[in-house]
Structure 1
Amino acid sequence: MNQFVKDIKSKPIFWMGIAIPIVLTLHWTHSGSDTLMFLLSLVAIIPLAAFLSHATEGIAAKTGDTIGGLLNATLGNLTEMVIFIAALNQGLIELVKASIAGAVVTNSLFMLGVSFLQGGLKYKVQNFNRLNAFIQSSLLFVVCIALMIPTIVTKVSEGEKAVPLDKISLGIAVLLMVVYLLSLFFSLKTHSDFFKSEEPEGGHGEEHVWPVKTAVIVLIISATCIAIVSEIFVEGVQDASEKMGLSQGFVGFIIIPIVGAAAEMMSAFSAAKKNKLDISVGIAMGSSAQIALFVTPLMVLLSYFIAPVPMDLSFKGGLIFMLLFGTLTVVLTSNHGKSTWYLGVLLLSVYAIFGITLYFLG
């Protein structure tokens, strides 16, 4: 508990937690406008994601590498999953698709780009596990193929006989889920040595984690609050985005992924500044692969039960090309196992091109 209190006092991201009781109070008293609730819920999700992330680390540290790795993989993107589920329940399927594509691109371009930039400004050259980066980027490329095929089939078959898009999407979703489970078995069991850090032993230093009991309590409370706040966010996203002049594509592709991954970003950026780039690369690319291979098919399966209509894997052409070009950029900049600040600039410039385009498309 002492470590918990110390972290609350010392980490500014937790101070944003003041927004949590405010947004809940305004929601229950029906006192806030859609725009105000939209903005407050965005702010509240950031510290909740941080609480969730730290709680997961506390539990994972006591369960061993295999179970701990599985736990981190399962709960690492819980914030985004809850937002997606709330949006599916409201029938905002296009928002979910934009957010999925945005989460993959944001984690792989923005998070990795800032990590390269911050680390490179302090160290001339930083090394990371090239094989790990290659495997993760290969998984992302497989997902690009999986999402492009339904999109292309839909476009080229217009005017012809009806395409069984729901069946194609469901089949691909199941296949992606199997690929994801096999990737966990590969990385945690049969070839775990491929994913070892390039740093010398003892390079990570001692990490302070919360006691298991504290972590479990925080995990339960954080997950519950995230579910409530995400519902509030989704309820106000349409009206608020219109009043603020933002398209759902921009909100889904840029804003939701940055907010949902805020805690992971803080960890990745901090590790890069400490010359622990393997941690940054693992968080950024691992999170992207998990969103693509696990969260995406899970949303397709859940949509059959909670959405007004099932979600398919036919993404808008612009989103597909952003996902493809984002993945290719990551492949080209990470294939040497070395980074500099300028590689970070290149990654961020591609991400900025996507953001500017979506903003002005409205």
Structure 2
Amino acid sequence: MSLNRIFFWLTLIGAPISLVGGFLHWPEIPMFIIYCVTIIGLASFMGRATESLAIVAGSSIGGLLNATFGNAVELIISFFALKEGLIGVVTASITGSIIGNLLLVGGLSIFVGGMRFKRQAFNVHNARLSAGILIFSIIVSFAFPAVFATQMDRFDIKILSTVIAIIMILIYLFSLFFRLVTHRGVYLEPGDEQTDHHDEQPEWGVGRSIVILGITTVVVAIISEHLVGAISTVAESFGWTELFIGIIIVAIVGNAAEHASAIVMAYKNRMDVTVEIAIGSTLQIAMFVAPILVLVSWGLHVFMPLVFPVTELVAMVLAVLLTISITSDGDTNWFEGAMLLAAYVIMGFGFFLL
């Protein structure tokens, strides 16, 4: 059974149950599981619709579409969590998405691909460019406000967070313009895949893609509201903290479709695609989703400052440094994947016990 068919059945079965169960207030623990599974299936449809639109619209607009909709699930879930005042869950889900993309997805992809191929190469220039942006987005933009937060009052933190959020969004848009317009194909090496896909046919037409994207976005929004509402009950029942749920559960659910695609690409030895999914999605979270949530929170009853707890900040910085050290040479093997996975397990276990 193909991956798309699995996601199709998850959606077909889970969506009606989620909508009816949420409306009738069925028991929250089993419904929480169904919500998670259904969102995973819906996320795959959103990804396929966005990819079809990107092929039709071209690479430049496609990059912007992927930036907007690639992490729509995380954005929607985080919005409803913010609306409920669960800032800890939001920051934890952002942290979980970042370390999950870099360590879990990157590590598992490299490990799976490395078990089939002794050495897997990818474009080292793109990897180094991504490394620089990662350092900027995590170490500079996230660490800086955390250091100064202890010496500022609440209003100053709001202003600093807002300014940084705007700058991060601009730099992310500039990075898309750099990659897809001004320096498109400049750093291709012999044997690299071409960035143009004029012969590639979209899976769905423009009209169908827009309809599917609209429907799935609405359904994800409805289910996400129920999912967020069940977090407290699930946390109390299993003895989990909201921090652990945000970092592990919510983060994995929001990125599951992309995770599966990255692993499949690594198994097919298309490591440039895998690296782009793992690192590119991380950059979207850090430089697009998180800043958007900061700006949106101005209109809610609770403001989300761009200040992360020390434990989450350290986890993100270590994940970035470890990923950069492994990908900076332009090739990987299964042992490097195992190290990334080990780091994720250690961090996950630590957050579980915290």
TM-score (norm 2): 0.93
State how many pairs are aligned: 350
2:330 partner letter? G
Find out whether 1:353 has 2:343 as its counterpart: no
Find out whether 1:187 has 2:179 as its counterpart: yes
2:261 partner letter? S
1:184 partner letter? L
- C-alpha separation between the residues in 2 aligned to 1:325 and 1:185? 28
Residue in 2 aligned with 1:168? 160
2:169 partner letter? M
Q: Is the 8 A contact 2:75 2:289 kept in 1?
A: yes
Residue in 1 aligned with 2:76? 82
TM-score (norm 1): 0.91
Find out whether 1:148 has 2:143 as its counterpart: yes
Q: Is the 8 A contact 2:50 2:213 kept in 1?
A: yes
Find out whether 1:325 has 2:318 as its counterpart: yes
1:94 counterpart (68, 77, 88): 88
Deviation at 1:208, TM superposition (A): 6.3
Compare 215-224 and 45-54 and name the one that shifted more. 215-224
Deviation at 1:323, TM superposition (A): 0.6
Change in 2 beyond 3 A, CA 1:93/1:197: farther
Change in 2 beyond 3 A, CA 1:78/1:195: farther
Residue in 2 aligned with 1:38? 32
The superposition leaves residues 272-304 of structure 1 with CA deviations (integer Å, 9 ceiling, x where unpaired) of: 111111000011100100110111111000000
Q: Is the 8 A contact 1:169 1:313 kept in 2?
A: yes
- C-alpha separation between the residues in 2 aligned to 1:192 and 1:335? 21
Aligned Cα root-mean-square deviation (Å): 2.2
Find out whether 1:25 has 2:20 as its counterpart: yes
Residue in 2 aligned with 1:256? 250
Secondary structure at the aligned position of 1:261 is classed as: helix
Find out whether 1:48 has 2:42 as its counterpart: yes
Residue in 2 aligned with 1:241? 235
Residue in 2 aligned with 1:3? none
5+ unaligned residues in a row in structure 2: which ranges? Answer: none
Residue in 2 aligned with 1:334? 327
Deviation at 1:161, TM superposition (A): 7.0
- C-alpha separation between the residues in 1 aligned to 2:194 and 2:5? 25
- C-alpha separation between the residues in 2 aligned to 1:339 and 1:202? 21
Percentage identity across paired residues of the two chains: 36
